[in-house]
Structure 1
């Protein structure tokens, strides 16, 4: 399903987004893009300073940085408590790690667990912990990848990463089924292959190119029912 972008940049619009995983790369650029469009944004990093904190300091209150190690249930609960008075129009979870291109038979158990916990379990724990802050008609969205598409898995390689994104998609499907009547839009977003630490230096896209398109999709889909798996153009990605 293609979308018609809605570029709303009125600073008085009052829209509030929480972007989980904005230390660098796609999450950092998405947070900045939403601020540019007039959103009030809370974004998380691991609390070590850096570019997100610098942007927050320069944002005149439009961007607030919060510490979070997303794989820690204790830190997630603490963030929920700190944000207890907030109401969100958008909750966006961005998290992924990659541990190389090993065939699955060579993947150590610890590596498998680390990737699955970070890429699949933790994003859904985050949604469960924070969904109560999202207003009726608001959006919960997770950064996925076309590499999580089973039907598109026709090329060799990156078996563990692909499996973790497929697991993420399946867990998001279960989440959407469980909360089918909550009135919230639910999205899985494939941003394409970007030149980030995860995507590598030879990727064809940059976050500065793709995150405005992703923001277009998020804004255009606000209020849409059910769960959709969409790319940065708003087109459906096959499961």
Structure 2
């Protein structure tokens, strides 16, 4: 990532929770941020208005290949990115759903498909669709979770969510292997257990507490080779 005042980031999935605070924190630090949402308005709109051009909004349903292609075309055509369009120092995909705490034998097939498509398949499709906007030296990152760590799966519960995050991590490993020579820093980030719609009201952290640390990690890892699975403190999370 560049250290100039013109660092640019795209945060996919920024309408609420961790993604919302991430987009706002990057803008607060001087990044020019594009934040995507499925629905207009809300808190993201309010934060964009407050940032006075530092934070802009794009519409995206991440599970739609057509919308991903349309977003790429819009960004490629932006004049402020020069003849090749908008270039991104950071592409960050933040998206996940949870459909409750069911033992895997009780999970309906359509629920399994929905969670896996949203949490594992779509983030990697997003990277594949938009990675061309990230020049060598830039960073591609995905919000993962300690719940996706197989070696740390020692407590009961949330089997489908855990499986989806483990699948995400494995797909990211394959992605990193396939694109090993592209010059991108590649990160999976565990932000900790946060009080969001997904994390629940009893989680020990708030996004306002965890996300500044996450951004510290993103900035500190700029230019690092290979793929890393890191927590908000920059410590390695075991696979």
With the length of structure 2 as denominator, give the TM-score of the two structures.
0.94
| Structure 2 residue 42 is the aligned partner of structure 1 residue 27 | no
Partner of 2:203: 203
- 1:149 matched to which residue of 2? 149
Contact 1:93 1:143 in 2 (8 A): yes
Offset, 1:93: 0.2
Match of 1:236?
A: 236
Superposition pairs of residues 42-81 of structure 1, within 5 angstroms: 42-81=34-73
Q: Aligned partners of 1:94 and 1:78: how far apart in 2?
A: 19
Determine which structure has greater relative contact order: mean sequence separation of CA pairs < 8 Å that are 6+ residues apart, divided by chain length. Answer: 1
SS at match of 1:41: strand
Distance 2:44 2:36 in 1: 8
Conservation of the 8 A alpha-carbon contact between 1:95 and 1:118 = yes
CA RMSD across the alignment: 0.9
Counterpart CA distance in 2 for 1:72 and 1:132 is 18
Do structure 1's residue 176 and structure 2's residue 176 form an aligned pair? yes
**Greater than 2 Å deviation, 4+ residue runs:** none
Q: In the aligned structure 2, how far is the partner of 1:134 from the partner of 1:76?
A: 15
1:100-122 deviation line (CA, Å, top 9, x unaligned): 00000000000000000000000
Q: Secondary structure at the match of 2:137?
A: strand
Secondary structure at 2:135 match in 1: strand
Identify the residue that residue 87 of structure 1 maps to in structure 2.
87
Structure 2: distance between partners of 1:198 and 1:16: 27
Which runs of 5 or more residues in structure 2 are unaligned?
Answer: 77-84
Per the alignment, in what secondary structure is the counterpart of residue 142 of structure 1? strand
Q: Contact 1:47–1:66 (CA<8 Å) still a contact in 2?
A: no
Partners of 1:55 and 1:107 lie apart in 2 by 38
Shift of 1:59: 1.6
Residues 154-196 of structure 1, C-alpha deviations (whole Å, 9 max, x = no match) = 0011000000000000000000000000000000000000000
Write the distance in 2 (CA, Å) between the matches of 1:190 and 1:144.
Answer: 5
TM-score for the superposition, normalised by structure 1: 0.94
**Secondary structure at the counterpart of residue 165 of structure 1:** helix
Q: 1:17 aligns with which of 9, 13, 36?
A: 9
